[in-house]
Copies of this chain bind each other. A is one copy, B any other.
């Protein structure tokens, strides 16, 4: 990326005029901004966890680049609607975006594997697949078709199963259930006889309160409390079988990324990696506090009955297996994901699972 000479000289605190020629400022001072970028996001501006994560990422890149990259973050609908982030960054309207890959299943079903899959990998396993399996390589291959570079940039951890106004005692309670649940989880619910509905976050509360829907999932206590969902439903179910560790994405316009100098490319990559661990730590530290608050508001917390989980797991495997065959890139991604899951689970069983179960 060529930069104008005058800007360059100014950027290093160097005046070509007069006696200051030989008096450069220290290189420690903030440099001139070379790249003024926009980041569009799918989250309400500064929304806990997700929106804050996007803001933090932008700040980190600015600091690490010593001001050479400055990023203005836009909340959902400020510049484009939440679900137009992908196209907008792809076409260069914004240089960068922050969202979740499952929103782009209309581009390719393969996208869903890079966010979360029902009964799939948890956060720790996802990161292992992305960074040390073929995950990120395949994600780059997929998004290259759309002129985008993807980077994992956050994770919520295992989500909650959702808010219900009726108890779920057995698989038959899912029949006819009108639930806001997007993506693969929704397809599984449909197969269970339910009616999946897609609504943006901002419309969930009213739909639940008016009875337009019987149930909804959103994220977990920290985010669900922010939307006031406990004021519109009685029962709060766990675990979030449909989103066991969703990765959030930072997407960068590929033309823009490729023209960056090497150090700035790496500053973006490493900042995203730090944002990935940071968001999960944020959720892990805050969810319980929100959970205790919800309990104090008389919310009843239930674990899904075992027979419901077994039923949903069986249907999930069917749905994913079908979706995994839709096109050639999806086949490739699914094969890699499935193989990794098969290999990593025996280790999770001996380590995290055995340990967590021993601790109570």
Contacts and interface: CB of A to CB of B under 8 A. Distances in A.
Nearest to A277: B277
Contacts of A360: 349
A151 to B, nearest CB: 11
A262 interface: yes
A354 B160 CA distance: 10
Copies in the complex: 2
Interface residues of A, number: 93
Contacts of A16: 22
A119 interface: yes
Nearest to A264: B28
Contacts of A353: 356-357
A263 B124 contact: no
A281 B159 CA distance: 21
Contacts of A267: 64
A26 B351 contact: no
Interface string A327-360: 0000000000000100111111111111111111
A320 B119 CA distance: 36
A132 B286 contact: yes
A284 B344 CA distance: 7
Contacts of A197: none
Nearest to A2: B26
A24 interface: yes
A90 interface: no
12 contacts: A8-B26, A27-B34, A63-B262, A64-B64, A124-B124, A127-B281, A128-B281, A131-B277, A157-B351, A160-B351, A288-B343, A291-B347
Given A131-B285, A132-B281, 12 more contacts: A64-B263, A119-B359, A122-B356, A132-B284, A132-B286, A157-B351, A159-B351, A270-B270, A277-B277, A285-B340, A289-B343, A291-B347
